[in-house]
Structure 1
Amino acid sequence: MNKLISFIWSIVLLLCLTFVSKAQQSTKLIYTDARELTMIGKAEKGKMFFHRLDTSAHKAIPGVVKSLATNSAGLAISFITNSSSISAKWCTSKQATANNMTGIAYEGMDLYIKRDGRWQYGGVARPVSHDCSEAMIVENMMPGEKECLLFLPTYDEVLSLSVGVDQGAELRPGTNPFKKQILVYGSSIVQGASASRPGLAYPAKLSRESGYNFINLGFSGNAKLEASVADMIAAMPMDAIILDCVPNPSPEELLARTNYLISTIRRSHPKIPIVCIQSVAREKGNFDKVVAARVALKDKYFKQEVNKLQKQDKDLYLIEADGLLGKDQEGTTDGIHPNDLGFDRMLQKIKPRILKILKRYRI
């Protein structure tokens, strides 16, 4: 008898689950073009909605930097909805995912929803191809209005994006939840390699944890302090800037170009804090002594040039590399790019320093 009752309850439960599943599938989603919502994370306004920079306005910068500026690293769509589910349809370029990154970070998205005053992870939009995808990000949420941030892909160009909510639900543009404008210029590490999701790239995480607007100017493999890039950055509006640009240039390039980069920014922004960060200690150098020596030399030259400028510039700061990723060599994906653990350790060191500096300037 007990077995019969258990069997009957199993059938009832299966029928209920099937009914709920079909009801969910039958729920009609209404999609809205993201261009009708609020884009945050741009260093400057431009014609291309999903590009970080208006590259047509910066003709002198290297072509590869122009190409990387079309990647949507650090950009997010701000919106408010009372929907019980949120989905997305989007198209990116056809380039394949890098082998040291997840597909979600490279060409997918992740959603954060504000709850109890804190930005909390809500779900991911998983790409199903290298061009166009559709994904349910989160469903079965409680009723009520939700403030949302949808972080865009870190390493691909977004060609189109629509946000889906339940039929009859409200969807409207949000505001920028972050204050001021703090540029972060740097390498692939700034751009987001190798965080597992876009929202875990360290400028995005810094924004959510601090309330400041950290703008991602990471150019993978190509933050080489070129004069044309220095001129471009110096012309941008900013309340502060972080220069995390040691990894890409050669030691000789750092020696030759650091002064021009910092001095050019300072001429355009005479009173803002400029925070310089040495290179993360590449864990490839744990056994490879050539790599270790090269990183040490670059950090030495960068510190040397910054120290020279600090003699006349009281608003110039240096955060040294020691301990940025911890001491156990577990902080990277590939011996170069921080994993989520590495980025967390990095923020534990640099965030207090950065926030203390910003507070000093009442930013």
Structure 2
Amino acid sequence: MAKSLSFSLIICFIFGLVPGIWAQQQSPLTFTDARKLTLIGKAWNDGPFYHRLDTAAYPAIPRNVKYLATNSAGLAISFKTNSSKITAKWCTSRRVPGDNMTGIAFEGMDLYIRRDQRWQYAGVARPKTHDCSDAVIVEQMASGEKTCLLFLPTYDETISLEIGVDSGATLVPGGNPFRKNILVYGSSIVQGASASRPGLAYPARISRETGYNFINLGFSGNGKMEPEVANMIAPLPMDAFILDCVPNPSAEEVLARTANLVNTIRKFHPKVPIIAIESVAREKGNFDQDVAARVAQKNGYFKQEIEKLQKRDSNLYLISADGLLGDDQEGTTDGIHPNDLGFDRMLQKIRPVILKIFARYGI
């Protein structure tokens, strides 16, 4: 009886001690407001920190564009740390993800770390609620300094963000790893629907893969080439413009607005390359004849207008829709928005064309 009691006491002591030992092994964290680090991906340096533009400075642009500009699509925090763990605490608006977006893409984040001369995926910040969350992004990393990019939510407004590292570890602003400024204007496809996480939206991917700074001005459902929007983006100090804006406007709007958008940009940038991209084929149109006809009409009008302008503009280029999503109807989430496979296929086509054009200009 005594031996049994002694054994029980020993077991209780050991198991009672383990949580204490484990707690001691867990390194406390130090959190830093991300506003003290480096934000990349903005075309403007003014306005609210996590907004893509200062909507108050452009009262004439459509209300929906103003709202979508508060989404942090394409924005990323650049920093360096020697921590073994990277965590985050962040708040977004209370919006709920749509049925064609993952929660991570909509209101979460993903981390890339520079290794072996390329950006490699390191982890995600999974949202726990639809407002404020905390998450361990990556842990148990090897010692040494890491150069990091944390991509912010694609379809929600980032209200606050703190990045946590091991207590005693360094956390300092990183530089902008991308050169030049390339504005990508367009629809929800540019904004990032329906990539599975923020860093897989095609402007973010092409930035990491080429080293150019592709700035995301995708406005979901509202990339309609309005004159007010043309007046907003045209004066920006860009080295090139990519116009991927056929999906949202009607065929009549494509016909009426394409030339104005290009000509407005040309007033400020007479010689920079402007690369226009036809709309991806909406896979809903594989059987729906009306959808297929509308997309074909819009692409036809867009091509017609661009080719007219090309007769007097040698710095204007057109990428056709052929093969942008492949030909097996597996490239979208919902028959409209590319999935990760669809975005990869887009990049396989447009990346070499864009790089060849940039080389002509010494960009």
Partner of 1:211: 211
Query: Residue 299 and residue 135 in structure 1: after superposition, are their counterparts in 2 closer, same or farther (change >3 A)?
Result: same
TM-superposition CA deviations, 1:78-120 (whole Å, max 9, x none): 0000000000000000011111000000000000000011000
Is the Cα contact below 8 Å between 2:80 and 2:147 reproduced in 1?
A: yes
Q: What is the aligned partner in structure 2 of residue 332 from structure 1? A: 332
How far apart in 2 are the matches of 1:345 and 1:213? 20
**Runs of 4+ with deviation above 4 angstroms:** 18-21
Residue equivalent to 1:151: 151
Corresponding position of 1:178: 178
Provide the C-alpha distance between the structure 2 equivalents of 1:143 and 1:173, rounded to a whole number of angstroms: 19
Deviations 1:255-300 (A, max 9, x none): 0000000000011101100000000000000000000000000000
Deviation at 1:44, TM superposition (A): 1.1
For the pair 1:59 / 2:65, whether they are aligned, the reply is no
Pair 50,21 (structure 1): closer, same or farther in 2 beyond 3 Å: farther
Q: Which moved more, 1:46-55 or 1:176-185?
A: 46-55
Quick check: 2:47–2:55 contact (8 Å CA) kept in 1?
no
Alpha-carbon deviation of 1:20? 11
Equivalent residue letter for 1:238:
M
Report the alpha carbon displacement of residue 71 of structure 1 after superposing the two structures with TM. 0.2
Q: What residue identity is the alignment partner of 1:75?
A: L
CA distance in structure 1 between the aligned counterparts of 2:25 and 2:90, rounded to whole angstroms:
20
Which SS does the other structure have where 1:137 is aligned?
A: strand
AA at the equivalent of 2:319: I
Change (3 A) 1:156 1:20: farther
Aligned pairs for 1:217-228 (under 5 A) are 217-228=217-228
**Whole-Å separation in 2 of the counterparts to 1:99 and 1:25:** 41
CA distance in structure 2 between the aligned counterparts of 1:93 and 1:21, rounded to whole angstroms: 39
In structure 2, the residue matched to 1:130 is 130
- Contact 2:110/2:152 (8 A) holds in 1: yes
Q: Which residue number corresponds to residue 289 of structure 1? A: 289
DSSP-derived class of the 1:30 partner: strand
Rounded to whole Å, the distance in 1 between the matches of 2:25 and 2:233 is: 48
Distance apart, 1:23 and its partner CA: 4.7
Q: Secondary structure at the match of 2:199?
A: helix
Note the alpha carbon deviations across 1:105-138, whole angstroms, 9 max, x for none.
0000000000011000000000000000000000
Within a 5 Å distance, the mapping from 1:268-287 to structure 2 comes to: 268-287=268-287
Instruction: Give the aligned length.
Output: 349
Number of the residue aligned with 2:7? none
- Matched residues in 1 for 2:320 and 2:20: separation? 55
Aligned amino acid, residue 202 of structure 2: Y
Question: In structure 1, what is the equivalent of residue 5 of structure 2?
Answer: none
Partner of 1:34: 34
Alpha-carbon shift at residue 37 of structure 1 (Å): 0.1
Instruction: Please report how far the alpha carbon of residue 47 of structure 1 lies from its aligned counterpart in structure 2 after TM superposition.
Output: 2.5
Amino acid at match of 1:92: T
Letter in 1 for 2:267: R
- The one-letter amino acid paired with 1:126 is R
| Alpha-carbon separation, structure 2, partners of 1:53 and 1:279 | 25
CA contact under 8 A between 2:105 and 2:195: conserved in structure 1? yes
Per the alignment, residue 250 of structure 1 pairs with 250
State the TM-score, normalized to the length of structure 2: 0.94
SS state at 1:279 partner = coil
Q: 1:84 to 1:250 in 2, by over 3 A?
A: same
Matches within 5 A, 1:1-363: 22-23=22-23, 26-363=26-363
Distance 1:28 1:182, change over 3 A: same
Q: CA deviation at 1:24?
A: 7.9
Shift of 1:22: 2.5
Local SS of the residue matching 2:161:
strand
Offset of 1:21 from its aligned partner? Answer: 9.3
